[in-house]
Structure 1
């Protein structure tokens, strides 16, 4: 006879995404940007320079502009990144059952990682599995979440066993959900080309994490192996290859590119090619109907809905393109929920 659920040892699951302002108003956006852009893993410059530069100059200038964009993104349910995360948490909890406690937190702002961890501690879980919701590992995203979790838990008197799912670049469930969503869009019309657009990071971030100098920012990403398993660029190419294979695409039928760079490439090169530049060249090559994926994001957010879905569409049409279509993010799609549950159980 099994013991009651309340008496059984329970496992804690912490799902974490990047973050969102509490509202699309300038003061809340400013608070969010201040926390985000002063993270030493996001902007890897000395704190003595980072804090006054971003809090004193960059954020005050950027916050009002970003607030207007967040106002376009906001829905009746609030921030998509937040409510999709809460929906995912609820569905994963339902599937895992009472022997698990699933919490959801944001690296920046609310609900905080600290609050989510406190929920798990209060539930007296035996161990904690942390799943940062970033498919491809980067020091500025997954690495930052891991560091924050360790900093917080290190202050607990009793520290449970903790494990991290650091990357799910090639997870079959993750890849399969993207393929399902892509096929649904491709069934609606014919496309001339596919674009996989990933969030960019500075090239130096990739080089700093290179294993024994393996990374050359070139053909070293042609295969995914033990030497580049945690290389962000290599992971992006691997995800693209796997999704393309699932969609039956040849290498000539798709392009991998990077978006959302923060600074001038002349002063601070980011991963290339840049999506906004690539798409402008496509119509002249006869590629006038393009389907775009954002496989670095598992939930709709500013970078997907606004940047890829709206801003890139406008740039593409101005360059002579006919149709630019963004494939929705995974959000809380049933197949994605199954994938998350599978990753938790495997760990």
Structure 2
């Protein structure tokens, strides 16, 4: 008698769940009032990846000096930035959240979060958990990786997820400065101004970092020299924020067809007495004005949304500094905000994370 032929069991297909997409920007006060600005500054500056000193001196510095004295001054500046829809950074965040949701479709759930203040990362992840989502993509809105920005988002997300009983499949976007659509969005924005008039010089101003943070990220302890080591992005320096900024400039410059010597990469927003990465934007502005440069087109490619550092610092304060020294025309290239190419960039990042 022949043995019966065993048939493989019929497997019931496992339902395919949705993918949660958390898009995360730095954050903004809930309002330009002094109490809300002080609350924001305390949360932001108490992050050990932002002010990377031991907890007790950081606590005393932030709560005893910076937040009490800086909040009233910062609140005045935030009032200049505020629009009828509130913070531009948060407004465009919600616009992009809706547009990205529409572009991705029903297989995805998109949530906006801020690293500091609201809407919080905690709330976004809690929503995903209640939905039973176990496939998550996290996209920090920082084109270049830095411990104080992207690294801080990573740390916050993982601190929350480690408490989940069911750990999700988790994918992070580390950086996206190389994405061709991200570059093209800035190129198109800049080309619009370059076709309207001639500019003597083009400035690429990035948010600065203390040099010590760059050194901490140099695992070789031998590559970082704050000079020619940023002349190209290599396997050895690819995690260096400064090198990534110079690479971003090179890619935008290449596609704009700018001549060598007609542009400068520099760094803004330094605080304290410790050396920050150079060259400093304000020093470059003084140098350009001293050479008789009359018109400057300024990019801020470390930011994807209009914010204090772009609209006010680069767009107004640096303009005033330039004009006080004889400059005649200063033009800020707006951030990506709700640019369709930016949304297309995010779609690609979600699907290839």
TM norm. shorter chain > 0.5? yes
Moved over 4 A (4+): none
How many residues align structurally? 338
By how many angstroms is 1:283 displaced?
2.3
Paired position in structure 1 for 2:5: none
2:124 corresponds to 1:113: no
Cα RMSD (Å): 0.9
Match of 1:281 among 284, 287, 293: 287
Contact 2:199/2:297 (<8 A) preserved: yes
After superposition, the C-alpha distances for 1:222-261 in whole angstroms (9 at most, x for unaligned) are 1101111110000000000000001001231110000000
Matched position secondary structure for 2:189: helix
TM-score by length of 1: 0.96
By how many angstroms is 1:122 displaced?
2.0
Contact 2:134/2:167 (<8 A) preserved: no
Matched position secondary structure for 1:107: strand
Structure 2 residue ranges without an equivalent (≥5): 1-14
2:72 corresponds to 1:51: no
Bigger radius of gyration: 2
Paired position in structure 1 for 2:38: 30
Paired position in structure 2 for 1:220: 229
Paired position in structure 1 for 2:97: 89
CA distance in 2, matches of 1:277, 1:283: 10
CA distance in 2, matches of 1:183, 1:323: 17
CA distance in 2, matches of 1:276, 1:86: 33
Paired position in structure 1 for 2:47: 39
CA distance in 1, matches of 2:349, 2:316: 33
1:1-347 → structure 2 map (5 Å cutoff): 8-213=16-221, 214-264=223-273, 268-347=274-353
TM-score by length of 2: 0.94
CA distance in 2, matches of 1:271, 1:335: 30
Structure 1 residue ranges without an equivalent (≥5): 1-6
Q: Which of 103-112 and 209-218 deviates more?
A: 209-218
Q: Which of 280-289 and 315-324 deviates more?
A: 280-289
Contact 1:200/1:261 (<8 A) preserved: yes
CA distance in 1, matches of 2:120, 2:44: 13
CA distance in 2, matches of 1:257, 1:216: 16
CA distance in 2, matches of 1:102, 1:124: 14
Contact 1:14/1:116 (<8 A) preserved: yes
Contact 1:288/1:322 (<8 A) preserved: yes
Contact 1:130/1:164 (<8 A) preserved: yes
